[in-house]
């Protein structure tokens, strides 16, 4: 699971960076001339990864928290990320199937709630190299989380500022 969680941290990082940018600058992500990346295919690929992660989380076995049965795993997921993941997944996939790329991006914004998952590899490094006990490790992880949260919120606010500014251009 550590390998999947580390890989999925990169998927979450992509979501944090690209989703607000694609909402702020839609003309850069909807190229009609065929140049550049096919963003629709990329979105379908990412939604496939989110679907895989959804089913992995339903059946995740966690020996630390003593979650070893499917029922306990489902209950633990329901108590944490099931509802936001399900709304984002169904909304984004439905919007993509209906051809509404913009609405798919709006549903993908729900996934920004999981930005803390991006720090999983960093947390592993902090645990490995921090000297001073569990309390010091937790303090370092909390400090890194706060810095990352400010950067993420700043990026989101800047992209939304541009998005709302462009809405005024059309009035």
Chain segment 72-122, per-residue pLDDT in tens: 777 777 888 888 888 998 988 888 888 777 788 888 888 888 888 888 888
- Residue 19 burial (CB count, 10 A): 23
Rounded Cα gap, residues 150 and 154, in angstroms: 6
Give me the percent of the chain exceeding a pLDDT of 90: 13
Write out pLDDT tens, residues 77-89.
788 888 888 899 8
37 Cβ partners below 8 Å, 6+ apart?
A: none
pLDDT of residue 68: 67
Report the distance separating Cα 13 and Cα 151, nearest Å.
12
pLDDT at 144 over 90: yes
**Distance between CA atoms of residues 123 and 148, nearest Å:** 12
This prediction has a pTM of 0.76
pLDDT at 64 over 60: no
Which residues share a beta bridge with 67?
62
Tell me the per-residue pLDDT of 128-142, one tens digit each, with 9 for 90 and over.
898 888 899 999 999
Exposed, middle or buried by CB within 10 Å (0-12, 13-18, 19+), for 143?
exposed
């Amino acid at each position: 699971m550590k390998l999947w969680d580390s890989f999925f941290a990169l998927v979450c990082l992509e979501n944090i960076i690209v989703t607000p940018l694609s909402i702020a600058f839609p003309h850069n992500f909807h190229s009609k001339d065929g140049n550049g990346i096919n963003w629709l295919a990329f979105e379908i690929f990412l939604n496939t990864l989110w679907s895989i992660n959804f089913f992995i989380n339903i059946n995740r076995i966690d020996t630390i928290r003593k979650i070893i049965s499917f029922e306990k795993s489902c209950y633990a997921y329901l108590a944490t990320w099931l509802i936001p993941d399900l709304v984002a997944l169904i909304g984004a996939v439905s919007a993509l199937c209906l051809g509404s790329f913009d609405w798919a991006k709006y549903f993908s914004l729900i996934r920004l709630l999981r930005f803390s998952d991006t720090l999983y590899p960093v947390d592993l490094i902090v645990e490995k190299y921090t000297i001073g006990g569990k309390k010091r490790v937790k303090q370092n992880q909390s400090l890194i989380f706060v810095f990352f949260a400010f950067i993420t919120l700043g990026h989101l606010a800047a992209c939304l500022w541009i998005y709302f500014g462009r809405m005024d251009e059309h009035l």
